[in-house]
Amino acid sequence: MSSIRLDRYLADVHVGSRKEIREYIRDGRVRVGDEVVTRTETHVDTEEDRITLDGQLLAYSKYRYYMLHKPAGVVTATRDGLSRTVVELLKNVPVRGLSPVGRLDKDTEGLLLLTDDGALLHRLISPGYHVEKVYEAHLDEPVTDGMLQCLSEGVDIGDDTKTLPATAVRLAQDEEGRDVVELTIREGRFHQVKRMFHALGREVVFLKRVAFAGLVLDPNLKTGAYRTLSSAEITALKEVPDKSGETQKG
C-alpha cells in the first residue's frame, strides 16, 4: 500500500498544474471509487483506489514517459553549453530526472522517448535487447538492390563486428527525387545508419526515426511537439522482449 494525498496523485499523473488540480478537486470533478472527493488533502492508495477525473480513469505511475518529435538542430542531451537540448523542448513539465532514451544526432529528426524510469531506460538502450529502431534515410545518390541486400546481411562499418542484419525497404522517392530507404536496425552504434550507407558509397542527406521499440511516431505530433505516453504504450514498452540470444557475430 502506498498512501499519498489526492492532489499529489493528480500531479503525479500530470493532469494539470497545481492550481488546475486544486480546482478539479474543489469543483467535484474527481472521484475516488464512486465517491466525489473535494478535499485536496484526502489520502488515497495508489495501488488500490480507482481515481477518475470527469469519469476518465487516471492510472497511477510515479514515472513520466514522453514521446517527442525531435526537430533537427537540437541535441539529444539534458544540458549543453551551446545548443538547445531535447529536454528544453518540454514546456510546463518538471524535467528533473528526465533522460532521453538513446540518442539521435543533432541533424536527425523523429521519435525520441524521454523518461525518468531508469530501469526501463536501461533495458531499452541495452545492447542485449536489440530494440528495433526504424529510420527513413534520404540518400544523395540512387540506391541499388544490391545495396539493400548488403544492408540486410550486415555491413562492415569499421567496428570489430559487422552490423547485425537490418531490414531495408525502398520507399517512394522524396520531393527532390532522392531515393528513400526505410531501414530497421536492432543496435544503436554511433552514427550507425549514416555509417552503414557510407560503407556502401552513399551519404544520408536527411534522417528521420519513425519508430522505436514498437512505438510509431505519432502523426499528430508536429516537429518539436511532444505528448505523454498512454498506459497501453508504457505497458507495451515494458514487455519488449530480451533478444540477446539472437545476437550474431560477423
Question: Which residues of this protein are in contact with ligand URA, per CB under 6 A?
Answer: 104-105, 108, 191-194, 207
Nearer to ligand URA, 46 or 192 (CB): 192
Q: Which is nearer to ligand URA, 15 or 217 (CB)?
A: 217
* Distance between CA atoms of residues 215 and 137, nearest Å: 18
Q: Considering beta carbons, is residue 105 or 153 the nearer one to ligand URA?
A: 105
**Amino acid at site 168:** A
* Minimum CB distance to ligand URA smaller for 13 or for 193: 193
Nearest in space to 203 (alpha carbons), one of 193, 213, 212, 211: 193
Q: Which of 105, 107, 116, 140 is catalytic?
A: 105
Nearer to ligand URA, 121 or 166 (CB): 166
The torsion angles phi and psi of 119, rounded to 5 degrees, stand at -65, -45
In the complex, what is the shortest distance from the CB of residue 208 to ligand URA, in angstroms, rounded to a whole number?
9
Q: Convert 219-242 to b/e letters by CB count within 10 Å (16 or more is b).
A: eeeeeeebebbeeebbeebeebee
> How far is Cα 107 from Cα 240, in angstroms, rounded to an integer?
28
Q: What is the largest CA-CA distance in the chain?
A: 67
Please report how close the Cβ of residue 207 comes to ligand URA at its closest, in angstroms: 6
What are φ and ψ of residue 232, in 5° steps?
Answer: -65, -40
Active site residue 80: no
* In the complex, least distance from residue 88 CB atom to ligand URA, rounded to whole angstroms: 18
29, 38 Cβ separation under 8 angstroms: no
> Which residues are tagged catalytic?
105
